[in-house]
Amino acid sequence: MRSLLAVSLFAMFLFPVAMLAQTHGKLSSSSKCATSQVHQTVVIDDGRQHSLNLDQRQCTWNTPVSIAGLSGAVYTSYGVDDVQGNRARDHGYAVGVMENGDKYFLRYDGGSIMNGNVPVRLNGTWTFTGGTGRLQHLRGKGTYRAKPTATGKMEFLIEGTYTISTQ
């Protein structure tokens, strides 16, 4: 009787752990973002060449990104840049769409070196904040680097890792 009770208790603790399996993966990809669809600049009159910029850009992965076996080719970036002289602090969000319609969400923070109103190079970190469907429990983080193209687009190199908890 005691052995049956011990086996039953062991099974009660083992099965919930097995049900909390995780999918892990790495990301290393590049993308291009079009010129801003939405761009608004507010000049701050504090004598320091200071402005706040709001941007929205449509982006395409050069090779579709793969997360947990799902392929995605496009995302939209929404950003706010706090520009002071030739430097900027960049903060924003991105929403990507996978081939099956599931979405992923991420937040980014970084910095830019500016030449006038044009960023010469950008770098920073990003964090997955969740998603929909199979990506609902998506978490992860990584880095990005970017530079402008001659046509006003931005080229990004993105690297990182992710985990999806399944329940």
Residue 118 has pLDDT above 90, yes or no: no
Contact call for residues 34 and 153 (beta carbons, < 8 A): yes
Place of tokens 């990005």: 144
CATH of the domain at 83: 2.40.350.10
Residue 2 covered by a domain: no
What confidence score (pLDDT) does residue 150 get? 87
- Summarize pLDDT for 34-47 with one digit per residue, the tens: 998 999 999 999 98
Rounded (5°) CA angle 119-96-133: 160
Which residue type is seen at 41?
Answer: T
On whether residue 1 sits in a domain, the answer given is no
CB 103 within 8 A of CB 36: no
Residue 130 lies inside a defined structural domain of this protein? yes
Question: Is 111 part of a structural domain of the chain?
Answer: yes
Classify residue 127: in a domain, yes or no: yes
Any domain includes 112: yes
Distance between CA atoms of residues 129 and 116, nearest Å: 33
> Over the stretch 125-140, which tens digit does the pLDDT of each residue have?
999 999 999 999 999 9
| Chain mean pLDDT for the chain | 88
Residue 25 included in any domain: yes
CA-to-CA separations, 95 to 6, 49, 84, 123, in angstroms, rounded? 48, 31, 27, 19
Question: Using one digit for the tens of pLDDT, what is the confidence trace for 68-82?
Answer: 999 999 999 999 999
Radius of gyration, CA atoms only, the chain? 21
Q: How many structural domains does the chain have?
A: 1
13 lies in some domain: no
Range of the domain at 77: 21-165
**Percent of the chain's residues with pLDDT above 90:** 76
- Higher pLDDT: 18 or 23? It is 23
